[in-house]
Amino acid sequence: MTILVTGGAGYIGSHMVHELLDAGEPVVVLDNLSTGFRFLVPSSVPFVAGSTGDSELVAKTIAHYRVSAIIHFAASIVVPESVSNPLGYYRNNTMNTCNLLGVAIEAGVKQFIFSSTAAVYGNAAAAPVREDAPTVPISPYGSSKLMSEIILHDAGKAHGLRFVVMRYFNVAGADPKLRTGQATASATHLIKVACEAALGKRPRIDVFGTDYPTPDGTCIRDYIHVSDLARAHSAALAYLRRGGGNATFNCGYGQGASVLEVIDAVRRVSGNDFPVQIADRRAGDPPMLVANVDRIRATLDWRPQFQDLDTIVAHAYAWEKRLPGKRVTSAA
């Protein structure tokens, strides 16, 4: 039986596709290529161009490829953009997820893994934050994902769909074999942006706020290597296949790095300096988000392999060097 990966031509989704292929799993990708890239999907993988909001297309795909499990990555993910375009985020993230779930349940799909986010916690009162912490998102992006989680819980209870919710902290790095990586021209991921600056693809990097209540005044995040994250999803699928109950897991390392610490790591790994400009805070950015990872480590057969910040940066930098030309001309 086949695994459907929605958003499989995107950054995290394409890593998941490679992870599944490496494990000998049959895979089909559904992606509308609004932010993904066809070249990130191996040619051996069936590719369906379209949206998770297209019920007929989703139903045909599930039936044709005999899909038994779905790993759902397709979403809009930029926090500041969600603040300026909330309806677009609720449409693409929440409404399309609801549609996908409805079709999946009708088709008899047995397992569902949902790509969620630490943004559901908002300004977490404690760090590291546990999965049972209050969910009070401060951006439409976080709200759109939390709404999807609620829908998934209700649908699972009503229809017997078994699921895992994966709440990502900050995903970074690239496939160590350099088969795929972050390729979005307008990406806002800090490590990618800093690597672009180190290679001269950006004129500078902006630091959005230095007055947060953190040791150096910049935001602190828990950076998880994208390949470790893909393996965590494989472990979640194995957990469901063994009969594991519905669950929510933080996906991080339980350790944080500030914006300035990340910039220092990129300078150190690349051997290049680049301009840094201090800018105003961005709407929707909490000061600190670090995961409590006790639950995922106790429940899933998963141990990270790339949790050193310099290793994450080195893989991201190596991938960025392979991408052609200047992908952007303005600072992020």
Single-letter amino acid code for the residue at 228: D
Nearest partner of 289 among 116, 118, 134, 79, judged by Cα:
118
CA distance 122 to 125: 9
Going from the C-alpha of 16 to that of each of 41, 103, 189, 222, 306, the distances in angstroms are 10, 22, 19, 20, 16
204 by Cβ neighbours in 10 Å (0-12 / 13-18 / 19+) ranks as middle
- The Cβ-side half-sphere exposure at 193, using a 13 Å CA radius, reads 20
168 flagged as catalytic = no
CA distance 314 to 303: 20
Q: Which of 65, 141, 212, 223 is catalytic?
A: 141
Antiparallel, parallel or unpaired: β 220-221 and 257-258 = antiparallel
| Other beta carbons less than 10 A from residue 158's beta carbon | 9
Q: Which residues are catalytic?
A: 141
